[in-house]
Amino acid sequence: MSNQLLDAPARASFRSGPLLVLLASALWGTTGTAASFAPAGASPLSIGAATMGVGGLLLLAIAGRSAFEVLRSGQLRLLVVGALAVAVYPLAFYSSMALAGVAIGTVVTLGSAPVFAAILERVVDGVRLDGRWAVSAALAVLGLLLITGGGWAGADANTLLGALLGLLGGAGYVVYSWSASRLMRRGHGSRAVMGAMFGAGALILLPVLALTGGPLLSSSSGLAVAGYLAVIPMGLAYVLFGAGLRHTSTSAATTLSLLEPVVAAILGVLVVGERLDVGAWCGTVLIGAGLVLVSTRR
């Protein structure tokens, strides 16, 4: 009985933090499969702008007046930094995949995020990361490389540029996650922070959508894809992510988000008809082991 009582706070902490981040990551993992149904002429910029631009307005609507309280709280600099990172992330990430391929774009963007998070928390917040996090992050990144391995053969200028954009996307993801976490720890609710930050980011992304979104928004299939991406892997997922981020460090959250490519790979097999080799399945297992380690940190 005593052991059960001692484990109860740990279970509650998992449900209110890492579990919500994992659920958000699972929803993010559906974006690639959904985007595969977009019209052939739809650009990666338009898909990224539609996903987080329209989704940002949705989060702002969900937050309501509480989002404007964040604006009036005197934390404008932190909010602006987060909003700029919100705008940079999808444009860099989708462009990285278009130039370097889905494999390399995913590896560089998501694989670099835990490293950027560790550096940011260490330099800015003075957080010391333990060996458990290092092992879990290493397992997850190695697994990610196995899932998407082989894409570096014959790398050209587009591949290198795509890799650089992937690094920019990974940094953007970490910066807006860190900014949101800081705002929440200063007393703001998760919905208010997400609504304010992503609503401000939408002010940058919607003009990009207006310039590039013709092929995406001119057909019923494109509208359906854009609507799904904005509502489910953006709107719903970021509500879950914001709630989980209140009880999860930035470094842990970015490592947990590596569940996204696992879900993407499985959906690619089940829905799109792709095939995974033995190395890719081994990578899936390694990522799972890394996620278990980091999500059970006390």
Q: Is 43 helix (H, G, I), strand (E, B) or coil?
A: coil
What is the reported pLDDT for 6?
44
Which phi and psi angles does 126 have, rounded to 5°? 70, 25
Mean pLDDT of 27-36: 82
Q: Higher confidence at residue 146 or residue 66?
A: 66
What is the reported pLDDT for 53?
92
10 Å Cβ neighbour count for 66? 15
For the cut 60, the answer to whether the pLDDT of residue 111 exceeds it is yes
What is the reported pLDDT for 168?
94
What is the reported pLDDT for 60?
93
For the cut 60, the answer to whether the pLDDT of residue 298 exceeds it is no
**pLDDT over 90 percentage in the chain:** 24
In the DSSP assignment, the letter for residue 247 is T
Mean pLDDT of 133-156: 67
For the cut 70, the answer to whether the pLDDT of residue 103 exceeds it is no
What is the reported pLDDT for 260?
79
Predicted confidence (pLDDT) per residue in 154-194, tens digit: 556 777 788 889 889 989 999 999 999 889 888 888 889 99
Q: Higher confidence at residue 79 or residue 291?
A: 79
What are the helix (H) ranges across the chain? 2-16, 18-28, 31-35, 44-49, 55-63, 65-71, 76-100, 102-120, 131-147, 157-185, 190-212, 214-217, 220-229, 237-245, 250-256, 259-267, 278-295
Are 28 and 233 in contact, with CB atoms under 8 Å apart?
yes
10 Å Cβ neighbour count for 32? 21
Q: pLDDT-based confidence at 211, cuts 50/70/90?
A: very high
Rg (CA), the chain: 19
Whole-angstrom distance, CA of residue 156 vs CA of residue 139: 28
What is the reported pLDDT for 162?
83
Are 13 and 249 in contact, with CB atoms under 8 Å apart?
no
Q: Higher confidence at residue 153 or residue 289?
A: 289
**pLDDT over 70 percentage in the chain:** 83
What is the reported pLDDT for 262?
76
Q: What is the mean pLDDT of the chain?
A: 81
What is the reported pLDDT for 57?
93
Mean pLDDT of 231-256: 83
To which residue do tokens 């790979």 refer? 265
For the cut 70, the answer to whether the pLDDT of residue 225 exceeds it is yes
In the DSSP assignment, the letter for residue 269 is I
Predicted confidence (pLDDT) per residue in 251-280, tens digit: 778 778 878 777 877 777 777 666 666 776
For the cut 60, the answer to whether the pLDDT of residue 74 exceeds it is yes
Distances (CA, A) of 19 to 42, 133, 248, 292, 295: 34, 17, 10, 11, 8
- Between 60-64, 93-97, 181-185, the lowest mean confidence (pLDDT) is in 93-97
The structural domains of the chain, with segments of one domain joined by +, span 21-295
What is the reported pLDDT for 1?
43
